[in-house]
Amino acid sequence: MKILITGGAGFIASHIQDAYLKLGHQVAVLDNLLSGTKQNLNAKGAFYEVDIRSPQVKEVFEDFKPEVISHHAAQMDVRKSVADPVYDCQVNGIGTLNLLENAREFGVKKVVFASSGGAIYGEQEKFPADENHSMNPASPYGITKLLGEKYLRFYQDTYGIDAVALRYGNVYGPRQNPHGEAGVVAIFITKLLKGEIPTINGDGLQTRDYVFVEDVVQANELALGTEVKGIFNVGTGVETNVVEIYESIAKTLGNPKPATHGPAKAGEQKRSVISFAKIQKDLSWTPKFSLAEGIKRTVQFFQSKV
């Protein structure tokens, strides 16, 4: 198949590009390189340096003629979405709509959308949350991810474009961006390797469902199946707080120093953990990597870059 990956120079989608190429697909990446890097790109795939909001997206579709879109380009920082909700909506809302309009015009068969298993549900009523959990996003980021899902459903129902929304937990692993506010695992590892002491926001007892990037890649491979449509959580069903994440990384690095604590940040959920029962039942997907193994592999990657 001919697959266009948006955001393919970024952390998660660059791993997906590698996997799709290995499976024998023709792959092109569309990325504005605002947060992604050319170092993540696979030389076997085509590359278009284009913003998903740009009219140039149409030229990409005309040139590459994709059958499937793997849509990972996004404004992904929850705190930035709180500080600048207009920008968040421009990228995650208008950008997604621009892609879907071109998908409709050029006969794309399927869109696989990187959604959020934490931000969409908001403060949970039950743990872990399944796909039928009420959706009360507590941040503009969560709102625009939910908006993306709704647009996908519209284009599926109206124009017959098969839609898969993968609601990721907190993805971590090699190539994760250690700069900015997103990606606590990469941030902690990088600071500790530099001999710095990381700062935990608030008490550090806020929990997330940390899922290793290679498990996420497998879910994206399964999403290409001809009959696969719908919404699926992609997580581990295990709740881990930030203090535990820090301690696991520090132990792996042999650094016993405790982290410091700073003020809590606005727009952050207290607890988040998602059920993978549906994707296990429908697609035979289960997470293969424990947190300890995933952190070990991530630490090894960052150590190799020092």
Q: Kindly report, residue by residue over 186-232, the tens digit of the pLDDT.
A: 999 999 999 999 999 999 999 999 999 999 999 999 999 999 999 99
Q: Where in the chain is the domain with CATH 3.40.50.720?
A: 2-171+211-234
Q: How far is CA 44 from CA 9, 25, 38, 63, 73, in A?
A: 13, 10, 13, 17, 20
Q: What pLDDT does 51 receive?
A: 98
Tell me the pTM. Answer: 0.96
First to last CA, the chain: 37
Neighbours of 290 (CB within 10 A): 12
Q: What pLDDT does 25 receive?
A: 98
Q: What pLDDT does 78 receive?
A: 86
Q: Which CATH number fits domain 2-171+211-234: 3.40.50.720, 1.10.3720.10, 1.20.1070.10, 3.30.70.890?
A: 3.40.50.720
**CB-CB contact of 100 with 113 (8 Å):** no
What is the rounded CA–CA span in Å between residue 65 and residue 271? 42
Q: What pLDDT does 181 receive?
A: 60
* Enzyme catalytic residues: 141
Neighbours of 187 (CB within 10 A): 19
Q: What pLDDT does 136 receive?
A: 94
Q: Where in the chain is the domain with CATH 3.90.25.10?
A: 173-208+238-274+289-305
Q: What pLDDT does 182 receive?
A: 66
Q: Domain 173-208+238-274+289-305, CATH 3.30.413.10 — does that match? A: no
What is the rounded CA–CA span in Å between residue 268 and residue 34? 24
Residues of the chain with pLDDT under 50: none
Q: What pLDDT does 180 receive?
A: 64
Q: What pLDDT does 266 receive?
A: 67
**CB-CB contact of 183 with 176 (8 Å):** yes
Structure tokens, 109: 């068969």
